[in-house]
Amino acid sequence: MKRIFFTLAMAACSLCIAWAQDGLQNPTLPDHEQDTISMSGDLQQIHVVATRATKSTPVAHTNLKHEQIARQNYGLDVPSLLALTPSMIATNETGIGIGGTSIRLRGTDATRVNVTVNGMPLNNPDSHSTYWYDTPDLLSVVGDMQVQRGAGTSTNGTGAFGGAVSMTTSAPASEFGGEASFSYGSYNTNKQAVAISSGLMKGGWAVDAHLTHIGSDGYIDRGMTDLKSYMLQAAHYGERTSIKFLSFGGKAKTYLTYTGVTKEEMQLYGRRYHTEGQYETSHGEHVLADGTHVDYYDDQTDNYLQLNNQLMLNHRFSDSWSLSLMGFYTYGYGYYKQYKDARTLLEYGNLGITDPSIEADMIRRKIMRNHTTGLNVTAAYSTSRLQLLMGGSWSYYTCPHWGEIDWVDGFEQSAVQGKWYDNDVDKQDANLFFKSTWRVADGLNMYADLQYRYVSYKAWGVNDNFDWNTMQMQPINVDKKYHFFNPRIGVNYAFDKHNSIYASFAVAQKEPTRSDFTDRYMFATDQTQPKSETLFDYELGYQFAAPRLQLGLNLYYMNYRDQLIPTGMVNDSSDALNVNVPKSYRCGVELTAAWNVARWLTLGGNATLSSNKILDYVDMLAESPTYGENLGTMTIAYSPDFMASAYADFHVKGFEAVWRTQYVGKQYFTNNEIEALTLDGYCVTNLELAYTLPSRAAKSVRLGVTLYNLLNASYCSNGYGYSYMWDNKRYDEAYYFPQAPLHVLANVSVKF
């Protein structure tokens, strides 16, 4: 399969070059915005944005410009910025927006939100999640960003089942300069960043470099975060050709806080309490409410190194034709280090214990090392009436997972050597796509987007779960191939320069994640494997755009077949456990508004009202109180029926003040609509203040401070839960991630 896609890619390149040569003989200068490439000022840098939607694309989307991104860049992770867009929720485990952050879009979790950087997939190919702290301070190097909702346009990597986030990195500056940025605030949150640019040098070369450190103690007790990141890019620009090498990534160390806390524990020990790394000891300096002495293991941490490398070639053959090639390689290595209290040693085969009654404390590590390499090819053609975009991508991912034991109480070091589990993963992901936008008449654009995607996923070995039925470690044996055809069609009609409507239909398909295969045994009563999912997405929208007022209305109906929905349970690494449901849907209305009241004041906001339902839900979770029952129509877990945000942006001369408020409605942890397993609705308000000082010694000096949770709301942004039966009685277990009360983060940025 790899050879077939390589041959097709090379053939596509040859065909594009031949077409381009023909285009050189009859160049046509387009008189409208091109949706396939953008030029970066004097540097004439061509960024292929094959995953982007434009003004005329019938896709619900929000664009975030570099200026908007820079204003939020105090040190928080990317989800804090994404939460400003419609239908988006940001969650965080440490309580302050740094470390352990994630997103949900239209109720779907991060494994179903496709994320790309310059067209390179950022989602982990195995888990499908994006771990934002593995690429610390990504906001400092992002040029712009687009959030698509729904199936969106064809993209690379895992399917977009709730939406997609497309990011491009900033082009090197045209002049020599740099920036130094420093932040400090509550809970010892701090950031130090420095960037320098050579500017466009003789011969058309330019070089940029960024270095950043972000640290915090976290609101949650011991919720430490220590993030180091870098970015280096070197580019050469010719009259029609640019070549750029980009490397970015970092090293992350975060304390494990993913187990959450119960409401009872919050009442006893406070909202900052959690149990990770805690163990009982007669000499522990900490005493719980029941008199138990405990202590904590200091190195209960997640450690990860990720290096992302891209080599991009962009060439414009004529005013109509352009071609882009990208080769990419990502290396990742990391491990969890955990103290486990009173573990049954039989579950660790390398110790040679056969007596199930023997227990001991231990320190263990779960380790992974992965390599991802790939190629993206995109060709673009544009005239005054027609834009064509064609290309494809191929990537290969390999990742061994294994476990090692560092220490067992009462054992010599030589007796704990070896691996207690060991498994491997191979994945190939390839796609070919063709997109077309045809201006049929003035104001009327027809859109078509066809994608074929091939996925080969293999996993084998033994997992970290001990099976007490077979008295062995859980075997893994997955060998799946998927062929997905994902068509998208739509129309956009502009009545005049202010009013436009659009409608679209899209099909998207997606393969299960690693944990969907390996952790199914934890809740399922059968031995079947998960199915792939299919989404039929219908969108209808209206846009009004005037110099002082912008309004948007989008109606969506997302009809799913075999949607993988969260059960409310999580595995040992806090990954959600999902189950296929035959029929389900998400439908709603999204409203957006922005009003430039005056030069110095802008008001705006967005709101989403939705219904997210499973039809004829049969509860097939093992040990569930309602096992086997048809519960009828149920609300999908983690899907609020109402969300809204509003802002007021005051700016005069060098002073800025922005008031932001977001409300998120109640969410169920499970699909049984059990009130004891819910996340209460919450409303949180932030206030951003900044002043840019006039300076002769520097280009600009900006002083800023953000007051997060200004009204001191007591809320939790996320949680999980489940029910089970014991001795003919139902028990509901719910765990929460409390967020910090009023806290402050100040920043000073100097550009020179």
Distance in angstroms (rounded) separating the CA atoms of residues 25 and 15: 16
Amino acid 14: pLDDT: 36
Nearest CA to 678 out of 730, 638, 647 is that of: 638
Indicate whether 649 belongs to any domain.
Answer: yes
Cβ proximity of 683 and 713 under 8 Å: yes
Amino acid 68: pLDDT: 86
Indicate whether 49 belongs to any domain.
Answer: no
Query: How much is the CA Rg of the chain, to the nearest whole Å?
Result: 26
**Residues 150-203: tens digit of each pLDDT:** 999 988 888 788 899 999 998 888 889 999 999 999 999 999 999 999 998 988
Domain extent, residue 665, equals: 2-32+175-751
Other C-beta atoms lying within 10 Å of the C-beta of residue 727: 5
Amino acid 49: pLDDT: 60
Indicate whether 153 belongs to any domain.
Answer: no
Checking if the pLDDT of 557 tops 90, the result is: yes
Please state the φ and ψ torsions of residue 25, each to the nearest 5 degrees: -75, -25
**Which of residues 45 and 614 earns the better pLDDT score?**
614
**Which of residues 750 and 6 earns the better pLDDT score?**
750
CATH of the domain at 608: 2.40.170.20
Residue whose pair of structure tokens reads 């000022």 in the numeric block: 41
Q: How many CA atoms lie within 13 A of 319 on its CB side?
A: 11
Cβ proximity of 232 and 209 under 8 Å: yes
Q: How many CA atoms lie within 13 A of 200 on its CB side?
A: 14
Indicate whether 281 belongs to any domain.
Answer: yes
Cβ proximity of 389 and 34 under 8 Å: no
Checking if the pLDDT of 633 tops 80, the result is: yes
Indicate whether 150 belongs to any domain.
Answer: no
Residue 446: pLDDT band with limits 50, 70, 90:
very high
Distance in angstroms (rounded) separating the CA atoms of residues 115 and 119: 9
Amino acid 19: pLDDT: 35
Cβ proximity of 167 and 117 under 8 Å: yes
Paired tokens of 329: 């390689």
Q: How many domains does the chain have?
A: 1
Indicate whether 55 belongs to any domain.
Answer: no
Checking if the pLDDT of 216 tops 50, the result is: yes
Paired tokens of 588: 């709603």
C-alpha dist (Å) from residue 353 to 80, 347, 358, 472: 47, 8, 8, 12
**Residues 263-273: tens digit of each pLDDT:** 999 999 999 99
Per DSSP, which regions of 9-65 are E strands? 37-39, 46-48, 61-64
- The DSSP bridge pattern shows strands 293-296 and 177-185 to be unpaired
Amino acid 53: pLDDT: 87
Mean pLDDT throughout 469-485? 93
Residue 621: pLDDT band with limits 50, 70, 90:
confident
Other C-beta atoms lying within 10 Å of the C-beta of residue 702: 19
Contacts of 665 (CB under 8 A, 6+ apart): 640, 641, 642, 643, 681
Residue 597 identity: V
DSSP string, 390-410: EEEEEEEEEEEEEEEEEEETT
- Name the helix (H) or strand (E) containing 16: helix 2-25
List the beta bridge partners of residue 377. Answer: 325, 392
Indicate whether 695 belongs to any domain.
Answer: yes
C-alpha dist (Å) from residue 20 to 39, 380, 382, 448: 19, 10, 11, 22
**Residues 46-75: tens digit of each pLDDT:** 445 677 888 889 999 999 998 888 888 888
Checking if the pLDDT of 44 tops 60, the result is: no
Checking if the pLDDT of 128 tops 80, the result is: yes
Report the share of the chain in percent with pLDDT over 70. Answer: 93
Mean pLDDT throughout 736-743? 98
C-alpha dist (Å) from residue 34 to 283, 558, 725: 69, 29, 60
**Which of residues 629 and 452 earns the better pLDDT score?**
452
Checking if the pLDDT of 211 tops 90, the result is: yes
Distance in angstroms (rounded) separating the CA atoms of residues 337 and 448: 49
Q: What is the mean pLDDT of the chain?
A: 89
Cβ proximity of 137 and 78 under 8 Å: no
Indicate whether 80 belongs to any domain.
Answer: no
C-alpha dist (Å) from residue 651 to 61, 599, 691, 707: 26, 8, 10, 17
Amino acid 525: pLDDT: 73
Amino acid 98: pLDDT: 93
Amino acid 151: pLDDT: 93
C-alpha dist (Å) from residue 412 to 340, 342, 377, 409, 446: 17, 17, 55, 9, 71
